[in-house]
Amino acid sequence: MVLRRKIEAHIHPALIVLGGFLLLIIVGMLLLKLPQAATGHKLSWIDGLFTSTSAVCVTGLIVVDTGSFFSVFGQFIILLLIQMGGLGVMTLSVALYRWLGRNIPFKQRKILQELFTHTPREDIFHLVSSVIRYTVVIEATGFILLFLFFMNTMSLQRALWVSAFHAVSAFCNAGFSLFSSSLMNYETSIYVNSVIAVLIILGGIGFPVLYEMEQWIFLRKKKKTSLHLKTVLTTTLLLIISGAIVLGVLEYPENHDLLSWKSHILSSLFQSITARTAGFNTVDIAVISDAGLAILIFLMFVGASPGSCGGGVKTTTLALLVASSMSKIRARNRVVIGRKSLPDETVNRSLILVVLAISGISFIFFLLLATNGHLLTPVVEERGRFLPFLFETVSAFGTVGLSMGITGDLNAVGKALIATLMVVGRVGVLTFSYIFIKVNGTSAIEYAEENIMIG
pLDDT tens for each residue of 236-266: 999 999 999 999 998 877 655 555 788 888 9
Q: What value does the CA radius of gyration of the chain take, rounded to a whole number of Å?
A: 22
Distance separating alpha carbons of residues 403 and 391, to the nearest angstrom: 7
Least confident window among 74-88, 246-260, 336-350:
246-260
Question: Does 82 reside within a domain?
Answer: no
Distance separating alpha carbons of residues 75 and 67, to the nearest angstrom: 8
pLDDT confidence bin for 307, thresholds 50/70/90: confident
SS3 category, 271: helix
Question: Does 26 reside within a domain?
Answer: no
Residue 111's φ and ψ, nearest 5 degrees, are -60, -45
- Taken in order 305, 57, 215, 121, the sign of the CA dihedral is negative
Domain of residue 205: give its range.
119-436
Q: Is 318 exposed, middle or buried (0-12, 13-18, 19+ CB in 10 A)?
A: buried
Question: Does 68 reside within a domain?
Answer: no
Distance separating alpha carbons of residues 295 and 285, to the nearest angstrom: 12
pTM to 2 decimal places: 0.88
Residue of 298, 297, 305 lying closest to 234 (CA atoms)? 305
State the pLDDT at residue 437: 61
Measured from the Cβ of residue 310, the count of other Cβ atoms closer than 10 Å reads 32
Q: Would you say 50 and 415 are in contact if contact means Cβ atoms under 8 Å apart? A: yes
Q: Which residues contact 350 (CB under 8 A, 6 or more apart)?
A: 316, 317, 320, 321, 324
State the pLDDT at residue 108: 55
Give 398-440 pLDDT, tens digit per residue.
Answer: 999 999 888 988 999 999 999 999 999 888 877 776 666 655 5
Provide the terminal-to-terminal Cα distance of the chain, rounded to the nearest Å.
57
Give 135-150 pLDDT, tens digit per residue.
Answer: 999 999 999 999 999 9
Question: Does 59 reside within a domain?
Answer: no
Query: What does the pLDDT average to over 204-223?
Result: 77
Q: What is the DSSP string of 57-74?
A: TT----SS-HHHHB-HHH
Number of domains making up the chain:
1
State the pLDDT at residue 7: 46
**Helices (DSSP H) in 398-440: which residue ranges?**
412-427, 429-436
Question: Does 75 reside within a domain?
Answer: no
Q: Would you say 430 and 356 are in contact if contact means Cβ atoms under 8 Å apart? A: yes
The percentage of the chain sitting over the pLDDT mark of 90, rounded to a whole number, equals 47
Distance separating alpha carbons of residues 203 and 21, to the nearest angstrom: 19
Residue 102's φ and ψ, nearest 5 degrees, are -105, 160
Cα angle value 297/283/87 (rounded, 5°): 60
Question: Does 84 reside within a domain?
Answer: no
Q: What is the DSSP string of 334-374?
A: S-EETTEEPPHHHHHHHHHHHHHHHHHHHHHHHHHHHHHTT
Parallel, antiparallel or unpaired: strands 340-341 and 336-337: antiparallel
Distance separating alpha carbons of residues 39 and 271, to the nearest angstrom: 31
Distance separating alpha carbons of residues 362 and 108, to the nearest angstrom: 32
Distance separating alpha carbons of residues 297 and 274, to the nearest angstrom: 12
Question: Does 324 reside within a domain?
Answer: yes
Measured from the Cβ of residue 206, the count of other Cβ atoms closer than 10 Å reads 27
Question: Does 64 reside within a domain?
Answer: no
Query: What does the pLDDT average to over 1-13?
Result: 52
